[in-house]
Amino acid sequence: DAKTTQPNSMESNEEEPVHLPCNHSTISGTDYIHWYRQLPSQGPEYVIHGLTSNVNNRMASLAIAEDRKSSTLILHRATLRDAAVYYCILSSSGGSNYKLTFGKGTLLTVNP
Amino acid sequence: GAGVSQSPSNKVTEKGKDVELRCDPISGHTALYWYRQSLGQGLEFLIYFQGNSAPDKSGLPSDRFSAERTGGSVSTLTIQRTQQEDSAVYLCASSVRRGTGELFFGEGSRLTVL
């Protein structure tokens, strides 16, 4: 499986935008980029996913580099409830695409 | 509620005992997944169900671990002769079908083996 690299931790201030980076230099053409987050003592929660084009939903935006070797999850206005571990995951559109491999993610701290 | 439901939420057991963990997926979701998360670690894939069959059991750590799914709905993860290293949060997820891009996770069952 293609691997992702994320910073161990990041800090942000409340109501400011947050850009969470993810490197995936070995991504293949059929790999989707998924983001999940996990709040303390909860199961992971889907945030967003994309293939090539940038994606927006009510939770966040996903900016994908033109060469797809990196992507950025954007939280437009961080709130205290956004403090969580954020996971960037690749899965292929075929084969074992059910088997999302979660790394250690980025621990986001939001300061009031 | 309408989410993935897991029980028990907490289970403390003695080494050597068997435990059963239950997952009730979202109605209509054909795909079901079990993951394990040890303290401070990422999620480790255990097994995947499509309907009642398990095409991929490759993540089960040993033959003490087994899982079944009946009626295309409820799944049970059984751990026999529990060991201390089995202590973890066991997470269940479901999706409408394989590869839809969104897995819905339950809140997990925290297993502590003394």
Model confidence pLDDT, tens digit, residues B45-82: 999 998 999 888 989 999 999 999 998 899 999 999 99
The β-bridge partners of A99 are none
A17-38 pLDDT, tens digit per residue, is 999 999 999 998 888 899 999 9
Chain B stretch 75-114, residues whose beta carbon is closer than 8 A to a beta carbon of chain A: 91, 93, 95, 98-99, 101-108
Q: Can you give the pLDDT at residue B98?
A: 67
Q: In A, which residues are within 8 Å of B43 by CB distance? A: 44, 100, 102
Whether residue B99 has pLDDT greater than 70:
no
Whether residue B37 has pLDDT greater than 60:
yes
Q: Can you give the pLDDT at residue B40?
A: 76
Q: Are B89 and B40 in contact (CB under 8 A)?
A: no
What residue of A is the nearest CA neighbor of B50?
Answer: A98
Whether residue B26 has pLDDT greater than 90:
yes
Sign of CA dihedral B29, B3, B106, A38: positive
Cα of A94 to nearest chain B Cα, Å: 8
The token pair that represents B76 in the structure block: 């049970």
Q: Does B60 touch chain A (CB under 8 A)?
A: no
Residues (pLDDT < 50) of chain A are none
Over the range B83-94, which residues count as b (16 or more CB within 10 Å of their CB) and which as e? eeebbbbbbbbb
Q: Can you give the pLDDT at residue A37?
A: 96
Contact B31 A98 (CB under 8 A): yes
Higher pLDDT: B40 or B44? It is: B44
Contact B106 A43 (CB under 8 A): yes
d(CA A68, CA A92) in angstroms, rounded, equals: 14
Q: Can you give the pLDDT at residue A96?
A: 55
Determine the residue type at B9. S
